[in-house]
Structure 1
């Protein structure tokens, strides 16, 4: 069933190749820990198996500096929702260059999260038939949504995503309980802002 779904979505993406003269920008969004990265990876593999040039990217390579990300507090849901990502760089370095008026010179990263510093790289030249699979929690905010050629929303119940996410982040936070607390206080309330304000 899942394999069939991935194949159907891949075929729909390939149909866009007949209509567009620029790289295809596919957005995969969902609440935090919804499974969007896993889905995006599987979709990329399916497209690559059909001999397509695929580039994987994520909005999580376009963060703001720590001083800005946490200015409202490390557990602030509003802070995560509004301050985590550098949307201007995300648009200017990735989405807009790949669009109908772009020059196809793109970057997939603007910020090194571990070093807490900006990354300066030479842009890469995209092929006009490249397919970009881009995942991220807040991809379909109103200022971004028109910059994707196909939009996929991975719908997952909050309770399911919380358990999955807390297990994944246990090592990062030191315990399952601490990780779950971050989902309850920061990540998922931020996702609810996203759903309420942008109806992705």
Structure 2
């Protein structure tokens, strides 16, 4: 179906949710599945409908370099286990927005460029705010119940690898080196995520994103 129609459909489903706290929408998928772009487009659609939307990511809650790379810069297990500070992610963002939460939240806890923790001033959410949060490993078993609506963006590994390598070509020095990193680190970790947590089975909607102009519900 047309991408705009699919995004409109999902926006309608989210707006119809009834909660006594902000709605926490998670957008997950393997690395370079297109989840970040999809989350941005969903944000724009909801804002066009006059909804109050906050857009953030688990990538604002990284661990410092000494933890992220303690198992090696190319380690898939290291990426899977050590990339993100899940404790801060839960207690500074997701839990305060959920049932019984005080609505006081942080959008980030770490400055990746400077490799330092940050402690920004707390913000206060409105109970009708919609938070759209993307991340590769969002629906791990100890996180999935902290989302009110879960979207899994499904893309074939080969397609995602080529898209990701093209995007990261400059960062790694060449397309070939970027693709190698996806093969060794990012997508091995993504396969562990799929095998251990089955995020596509617990999501509210699964979207096949192989054809960017014509995604469809699975």
Structure 1: how far apart are the matches of 2:99 and 2:119?
Answer: 25
**3-state SS, counterpart of residue 26 of structure 2:** strand
Structure 1: how far apart are the matches of 2:122 and 2:23?
Answer: 18
Does 1:9 find its partner at 2:10? Answer: yes
**3-state SS, counterpart of residue 57 of structure 1:** strand
Report the equivalent of 1:60: 59
**3-state SS, counterpart of residue 154 of structure 1:** strand
- What is the TM-score of this pair, normalised by structure 1? 0.98
Structure 2: how far apart are the matches of 1:156 and 1:74?
Answer: 25
Structure 2: how far apart are the matches of 1:73 and 1:153?
Answer: 28
Q: State the Cα RMSD in Å.
A: 0.4
Residues 83-94 of structure 1 aligned to structure 2 (within 5 Å)? 83-94=82-93
- What is the TM-score of this pair, normalised by structure 2? 0.90
Residues 3-42 of structure 1 aligned to structure 2 (within 5 Å)? 3-16=4-17, 19-42=18-41
Structure 2 unmatched runs, 5+ = 200-218
Structure 1 unmatched runs, 5+ = none
Report the equivalent of 2:123: 124
Report the equivalent of 2:148: 149
Deviation at 1:131, TM superposition (A): 0.2
**3-state SS, counterpart of residue 132 of structure 2:** strand
Structure 1: how far apart are the matches of 2:44 and 2:174?
Answer: 33
Structure 2: how far apart are the matches of 1:83 and 1:153?
Answer: 22
Deviation at 1:101, TM superposition (A): 1.1
* Aligned residues between the structures: 198
Deviation at 1:120, TM superposition (A): 1.1
Structure 2: how far apart are the matches of 1:7 and 1:163?
Answer: 28
Structure 2: how far apart are the matches of 1:141 and 1:180?
Answer: 25
Structure 1: how far apart are the matches of 2:134 and 2:119?
Answer: 22
Structure 2: how far apart are the matches of 1:158 and 1:44?
Answer: 26
Structure 2: how far apart are the matches of 1:78 and 1:171?
Answer: 24
Structure 2: how far apart are the matches of 1:13 and 1:123?
Answer: 26
**3-state SS, counterpart of residue 71 of structure 1:** coil
List per-residue Cα deviations over 1:86-139 (Å, max 9, x = no partner): 000000000000001100001110000110000111110101000000000000
Report the equivalent of 2:212: none
